[in-house]
Structure 1
Amino acid sequence: MTHALGESDWGDWLPRAIENADPETVALWYLGCNGFAIKGSAGTVLWIDPYLGIGDPPRTTRMIPVPFDPTDVTVGDALFITHEHSDHAHGPSQAPILANTDAELIAPDDSVAVAEEEAWADDWDVSTDQFTAITEGDTLRVGEFAVDVVPVNDPDATHPVGYVIEHDSGTIFHGGDTKPTDSFADIGDAYDIDLGILAFGSAGTIPDKETREPKHTKWYSDETEIVDAASALEIDRLLPTHWDMWKGLTADPTALYPHVRSFDHPRRLEIVEIGDRVDL
């Protein structure tokens, strides 16, 4: 089944680690692909793009473990989606989290449309009242976090957005699957971004979605593009994502070290694996 929920052999240790954590500032757990759980010092928990599916083998074949079962998640105040692609807006991964926590689903219109068209409210204990559509320029408050919705550049998506997440302890940027764009210079001037999350990967040849014939594919920023984006955003710590996920499109994030060396930003490369925690 395309993008079916994967079975985890990790047990519930990661959801329990998030639930029991008491960070002094803000803690982030990398969920693989482009997913994160974020918990603030006052206990507010945000989820961004959690994806626990297996992909669409052999076109997209998951290369990393499924870190938990979404029914084991018990804490969450909001679940953010960056765009409508199946590894970002995914009912089997996300609807159980919404059902267990009563978190608000916050997403651009085309991602909310996925939840509505796939009838998340019919298949899980979820209400459409939990769905909030946002767009670039919107500002919202979730507990201790202020979140600004900003424009990004993902030409493969119909309505992608990025999120600037501000906390007393620092500022996080999550760009979804963005590539560089002119708006990043303005975002870099407007915010002091401590930790920037940007997708990184290689080009590869994978089966076409319709014909299944081999097709040259490049979905994520390469070494030059991710550093150009991080430099324009004036990111202090760059955390590359998505490099671990799809067979044929994976990359080595340590290859970024010589690329960032001569730039003022990013000042530090933050390389994490699925399940790792980082703190602001």
Structure 2
Amino acid sequence: MTRSDWGDWLVRDVEETDPEGVSIWYLGCNGFILKGTGGTTIYIDPYVGLGDPPRTVRMIPVPFDPDDVEEADAVLVTHEHTDHVHGPSQAPILANTGATLYAPDDSVAVAREEEAWTDEWAVTDDQLTEVTEGDTIEVGEFTIHVEQASDPDATHPVSYVFEHEAGTFFHGGDTKPCEEFERIGDEYAIDLAALAFGTVGQILDKRTREPKRTRWYNDENQLIECAAALECERLLPSHWDMWKGLTADPTALHHHAQSFEYPQRLEIVEIGDRTDL
């Protein structure tokens, strides 16, 4: 695990911010921090690892050191892949703050069994909580609904809908278009949706280490298909910045979105940027 390229300014910025509604910081990859007006702070899929070079090569800075995090109420994980559930990135946050990890079963199994968080860090077993589709979690001022996701590369992916008096945020993890999204779009008034976007590239096969044509994230048309089904006001493309060979240009999405009613606006952010509900 490397040290942060940015020191501790990002986590200190989060701690010192008093949002009028909900502030959302993009951590690169598919990581986010949500902070509400009452101070509730939630990390989603935070990852500060370096990947597995030369197979997966990190293309962006490491924006914070998890040991510097002093305020967090929960860490949410969408699925079991390393860049979404990762002990060195997340266990120190739980150890420092007493926050609870909420994750689907296969992701909790990574924490409990494969990475032994309770042995390697000062994390207790009751901080690791399984969730599944249909569950509702109350964390401070946020009501969080666990919803469906469609990621054929994951064993049990979920998405999350965060409801707050200031608005509603959807985090899809690495989901691609999903039959349930029209229902989700009808059920919730989604103000902002974060969805994974990237290109198809040649990535070394995990077993053979030979180059293999790889699609891990939505292309332009799939991303707009998701956003249109969710009827989100604003679309925030994520994950496009992370892995060498799979990076993409999110500004190209303007052309793909312009003839659709939703999304009504693209929210293009870079690592470390903040947006608000």
Q: TM-score, normalised by structure 1?
A: 0.98
Task: Please tell me whether residue 198 in structure 1 is matched to residue 203 in structure 2.
Answer: no
- 1:242-274 residue CA offsets vs partner (Å, 9 max, x unmatched): 000000000000010010101100000000000
Distance 1:258 1:122 in 2: 50
SS at match of 1:188: helix
SS at match of 2:190: coil
Q: CA deviation at 1:6?
A: 2.8
Count of residue pairs the alignment pairs up: 276
- Partner residue, 1:273: 270
What is the one-letter code of the residue matched to 1:136?
A: E
SS at match of 1:228: helix
Aligned 1:83-162 pairs, distance under 5 A: 83-117=79-113, 118-162=115-159
What is the one-letter code of the residue matched to 2:8?
A: D
Distance 1:79 1:29 in 2: 14
- Partner residue, 1:57: 53
Distance 2:169 2:5 in 1: 30
What is the one-letter code of the residue matched to 1:235?
A: C
Distance 1:262 1:107 in 2: 36
Displacement over 3 Å in runs of 4+: none
Task: Please tell me whether residue 257 in structure 1 is matched to residue 262 in structure 2.
Answer: no
Task: Please tell me whether residue 240 in structure 1 is matched to residue 262 in structure 2.
Answer: no
What is the one-letter code of the residue matched to 1:77?
A: D
Structure 2 alignment gaps of length 5 or more: none
Distance 1:46 1:16 in 2: 15
Distance 2:265 2:35 in 1: 22
Instruction: Provide the aligned C-alpha RMSD in A.
Output: 0.5
Distance 2:188 2:28 in 1: 26
- Partner residue, 2:26: 30
Q: CA deviation at 1:8?
A: 1.4
Task: Please tell me whether residue 176 in structure 1 is matched to residue 173 in structure 2.
Answer: yes
- Partner residue, 2:63: 67
Structure 1 alignment gaps of length 5 or more: none
Sequence identity (%): 67
Distance 1:240 1:100 in 2: 30
Distance 1:9 1:116 in 2: 29
Q: CA deviation at 1:149?
A: 0.3
Q: CA deviation at 1:7?
A: 2.3
Distance 1:208 1:166 in 2: 39
2:160 to 156, 163, 166: 163
What is the one-letter code of the residue matched to 1:21?
A: T
